Structure 1
């Protein structure tokens, strides 16, 4: 009888330890995700031609774009990839593909999954440049 009691007790503690360990991992992972999405590492602006903007992904659909940064005429542009999480901004950007623009963005490093965006650069607004 004493053997049955002593053999059950460690299993119960092991079960509780595993459950609390999983809860801790989930809470810490959620806190890290919230932190990386709400705290900007840097913010700034880039100017160029909005060359491509699309909604991509198999399961997690994200809005992704490409800004062609021209330094001088006749030289191949540098392509800068960005994302946005705002559907209204995505709709406006879609209407302005092919336009020269200044794009405001924030950089969010360390986001644990690409379900939020494929790049660390999140567009927050833009201004069309009239030439």
Structure 2
């Protein structure tokens, strides 16, 4: 009779170990996912002329934009290129304001993430508000 009791205790101990291991793996996976896609890595303001603001995508329709900043960018084979800031937009009202004022000078507040989500946009930079427009 002592054999069956020992076997039951071993089975119960293994189930507890397996349960705790699965919980730890899920917690680590959730932490990595949060850090990669939802943790705000940086915030700031970019200024420049709005080149475009568009709604595009095959499955997820997202708002995308490009800001042309003053100054000189990285040297390319043919000469000097401008600084460009490509970003995504989550808010409809911010998109509509940008879309209707293409070519104007904007100061845009953005948040930077470590990774892009398909329903949030194509870039890791998400513009969340317009600070000023000239």
After superposition, give the CA deviation of every residue in 1:85-123 in whole Å (9 maximum; x if it has no partner).
Answer: 2111112212222x221232224242x443333333332
What's 1:52 paired with?
52
How many residues in Structure 1 have an aligned counterpart in Structure 2? 121
Instruction: Rate the CA distance shift 1:69–1:31 in 2: closer, same or farther, 3 A.
Output: closer
| Ranges in structure 2 where 5+ consecutive residues have no aligned partner | 73-79
Q: TM-score, normalised by structure 2?
A: 0.65
Q: Between Structure 1 and Structure 2, whose CA radius of gyration is higher?
A: 2
Residue from 93, 97, 110 that aligns with 2:98: 93
Match of 1:19 in 2: 22
Give unmatched runs, 5+ long, in structure 1: none
Q: Do the aligned partners of residues 119 and 103 (structure 1) sit closer, same or farther apart at CA in structure 2, a change above 3 Å counting?
A: farther
CA RMSD across the alignment? 3.0
**Contact between 1:108 and 1:120, CA under 8 Å: does it hold in 2?**
yes
Contact 1:105 1:121 (C-alpha < 8 Å) held by counterparts: no
* CA displacement at 1:81 relative to structure 2: 0.6
Distance 1:4 1:35 in 2: 46
Whether the aligned pair in 2 keeps the contact of 1:102 and 1:127 (CA below 8 Å) is yes
Task: Please list every run of at least 4 consecutive aligned residues from structure 1 whose deviation after the TM superposition is greater than 6 angstroms.
Answer: none
Aligned ranges 1:1-131 → 2 under 5 Å: 1-2=4-5, 4-29=7-32, 31-32=34-35, 33-36=37-40, 41-48=42-49, 50-71=50-71, 76-97=81-102, 99-110=103-114, 112-115=115-118, 116-123=120-127, 124-125=129-130, 127-129=132-134
Q: CA deviation at 1:9?
A: 2.3
Checking the alignment, whether the CA contact within 8 Å between 1:51 and 1:68 is kept in structure 2 is yes
**Maintained 8 Å contact 2:112/2:124:** yes
